[in-house]
Structure 1
Amino acid sequence: MSTSKGSDTPGLRFGVEIELVVKSKNRPHTTFQSLALDICRHLGKAKVPSHVARLSQKADAAETYQDWTIIEDSTLPSNQAENFFGVELVSPIFYLQQPQIWIPQIQETWRILQREFEVHATKECSTHVHLSPANRLWTLREAKGIAKAAVFFERCIDALMPGHRRINPYCMSNRWNPGYSGRSMPQIFSDISQAESSENLGERMCWCSKDSVHAFQTLHEDDFVHPHFRWNFTALTERTRTIEFRQPPASRDAGQTVTWILLAASFAQWASERADLTLDPARTANLEDLHRCLMAGARVSGVSDNMLGLLEALFRGVKRLPVPRYNLKSMTQEEQNGLRREATRMGIPFEKYKELFAYE
C-alpha cells in the first residue's frame, strides 16, 4: 500500500485480511484452487472484482491491491477429505472516508460467502487491518505515537477481545515483548522516543523471544524481530509501508469486519496525532480513556453516528482485566502444572485462567 508523499489530506486508507475456513454448499471441491475459483466466480457475478493468488506467492499475492485477492492459508485447519480449506481474503486498498465504497463491497463479499459457502470462523482464524495515511507515508513521529498508545492501552484493548486472542502466538504482546517486559511504562515510552528510524521502531515493538513458537519454526537461538505481534510495525519498512493491527478474531459477518476496521483506524488516527502529547505513562490506562480516544479518532476520521454504534457496542459489559502475570512462552511444564492447580483451586477452567492471567 505504499504511495508517494502528497498533500496532507486527513483520513486513512486501509486493507483488511479476512481468514476463514470455507467449504462450498453446492460443489465438492477437492483442491483449494477449485474452491478459490468458485469464490471468484460468485464474487464476479456480484460485481466484486477478485483474483486467486498464484501458489507460493502470499507475500506479494495482492500485487496492486486493486481487487480482492483469494489466498490459501496453510496455518488454518483445512480438511481436504471434507472439502474444507483455509482461505484468506485480502481486500483492495480502501479509504476510510469513502464508506459508500468500502462498506458495500465488504457487505456484498460477506453476502456471497454466507449464501454460497459454509464459513467457519475458527479460533485459528483472525482479521488483520493494515493502515496508512490517505496520501502519504507515516511519519516517524506518528508511528511513535501509535506505538506508545499500543503499549499503554494494550490491556484495555485485550478486554475488548475474546480470551483466545490474548494468548495467541500469532498476535503476541507488544507490551511484554522481551525488550519491554522488565521495564516500566515511562521507560518504554522513553525507549520508543529514542527510535531513530521506522526500522528501529519495528525492532523495539516486535522483538520476539527465542522461546517462542516462531523461534522454533525459524531455528533462531536468540531473540529476534518478527511481525506476529498485536501491532506489527515491521511492515513500515516493507513494500506496504503500513502499520498492521493483528489482534482481532475471525469475523463472522460483515458487521464484525467493519467493527474491527473502525477500531483499528480510529485508534491509529487518534494515536498518530495525540498520543505523544496527551498520554501520561505514569498513569494506568482504563477503559474509559480508551473509549474517549477511540471516539475522538472516529470523529476526526468522519465516521458517521450510526457507525459509531459499532464501536460503542464493543464496550458493553466489558470489565477491566487483571495485569497479566505469566509468560507462556518461557514456562516449563512444571510451571504450567502449577498454573493448572491454581486454576483448579480458584474454580476457573484452565484455558480461562490463562486468558485472564497470562500473555503470549
Structure 2
Amino acid sequence: MEEENSFQFGVEIELLLGSRKKTHPNWKSLAKDLSKRLVKAGIANHINDSNDKSADNYREWSIVQEVTIPSQPGKNLWGLELVSPVYHIQSYWAADLTTIFNTLHSSFNLVASPHCSTHVHISGHPLPLDASALAALAKCALYYEPALDLLVPAGRRNSTAYWCQSNRASPALRPLNSLGDCLSLIDVAEATGSIRPVVEAMNLFPAASAYGRAHGKHKDFIRGKVYKWDFTGMLASSGSTSRGTVEFRQPSGSLSAEEAAAWVTLAAAFVAGAMAVGPNLGGDIGVQGASPEELWALLASGGEMLGWESLGGVEGLFERAG
C-alpha cells in the first residue's frame, strides 16, 4: 500500500492478572515485576504511574493502572493495562504481541473478566484522516454495527455495556428514525469540511445524564470513551495538535497474542475498507444494517488494500460467532 494511504495503530490491552510465584501487596509491585520480565524478554517498557498521554509515553510499551477492573487483593489479582507504542501497520507488531503474551503466561495467571477489553487506535499515516475519510468510517461504523456485534460477547453489544455503547445513542443520532437518516446526517456533517461536526454526530453525550449533571453540563457535550467508536482523538485539546486517532473500543479482553492480534487486524482492515465503501453509503439505504457476509467482504477488501495475504485470527472470530 502506498505510504500516503497507510495507517498507524496502537493497542491497549486490559488484564486482570497475578504472579504465579509472588504475592504482591499492590498493583505497582506487580507492575514492577511485569516490567522487569518484559525487559528481559526484549520488550522495552516503562510504568506510567499517572497515565500520562504525552507522545513520549508511546515510544515503547507502558504499564498503566486500570481502575475500571476491580482488583482482588485477596486472590493476588490486580487490574492493569498494557499500552503499546505507535506501530506502523506494516511493521512486525504481531511478534511483539507473541513475546508479551509468552511472558505473561510463563509467570502470571491471566483471569478472564467482563471488565477487561481491548482498544485499538487507528490513525492515518503520514497524514491524518480528513473530514471525508472520517465520515466514511463513521457511516461504516453505523452500517456494519449489527455484524460487528456478533463478533463480541453479549455484554459488549448494543448498549448493554456502559463503556461501549452504540454510537446511535449519541443525542445527535438517537432521535432519528432510521439508519438511512443517520447516514444522511453524517453526509451533512461531512459537507461542512470540518472534522468536528462528524465527531459531534458520533460522540455527543447527554447533558441530562448522571455524568453530565455531576459535571455541571448545560448542553450535550463531546465524550467518546463511552461509545464503541471514539472519534474524539481527532480533535486538538489543551492547545496541542490533534493525536489524529480513532479508537475502536468494542473488543473484549484478550488472553492470548492471537486474540489481541485478531482485534488489531479487524480494526485496521475495517478502517481501510471503510475508506472505499463508506462514501457510497447514503440515506437511501433501505435496511437496518450489514450482514456478516457483507462485513467479511469489507474486511477482505481492507486487508487487500493493506497488502495482507490473509486476515489471520479474524476468521476465528467469525467462526465462534457462528
**Same topology, TM > 0.5:** yes
| Inter-partner Cα distance in structure 2 for 1:91 and 1:65 | 7
Deviation, 1:120, is 1.6
Gaps of 5+ in 1: 1-6, 320-360
Asked whether the 8 Å contact 2:18–2:109 carries over to 1, the reply is: yes
Amino acid at match of 1:176: A
Q: CA deviation at 1:293?
A: 0.6
The alignment status of 1:234 with 2:232, answered yes or no, reads yes
Distance in 2 separating the partners of 1:22 and 1:83: 8
Q: How does 1:1-360 map to 2 (within 5 A)?
A: 8-54=3-49, 57-60=50-53, 63-98=56-91, 101-166=92-157, 167-183=160-176, 184-195=178-189, 196=192, 197-210=194-207, 212=209, 214-215=211-212, 218=215, 220=217, 222-227=219-224, 228-238=226-236, 239-277=242-280, 281-284=285-288, 285-305=290-310, 308-316=311-319, 318=321
What residue number does 1:328 align with?
A: none
Alpha-carbon distance change, 203 to 12 in structure 1, aligned in 2, over 3 angstroms: same
The whole-number CA distance in structure 2 between the counterparts of 1:40 and 1:317 is: 33
For residue 213 of structure 1, report the CA deviation from its aligned partner.
5.6
User: Cα RMSD between the aligned structures?
Assistant: 2.0
TM-score (norm 2): 0.89
Question: Alignment length, in residue pairs?
Answer: 307
SS at match of 1:160: coil
Cα offset, 1:200, TM superposition: 2.2
Q: Distance in 2 between matches of 1:61 and 1:21?
A: 25
Tell which deviates more after alignment, 137-146 or 234-243: 234-243
Query: Partners of 1:204 and 1:16 in 2: how far apart?
Result: 25
Q: Structure 2: any 5+ residue segments left out of the alignment?
A: 237-241
CA separation in 2, counterparts of 1:283 and 1:82?
49
Q: SS of the counterpart of 1:302? A: coil
* SS class of match (1:29): coil
The structure-2 alpha-carbon separation of the partners of 1:221 and 1:23, relative to structure 1 and needing over 3 Å to count, comes to farther
**Residue type matched to 2:53 in 1?**
D
**TM-score for the superposition, normalised by structure 1:** 0.80
Report the alpha carbon displacement of residue 245 of structure 1 after superposing the two structures with TM.
Answer: 0.1
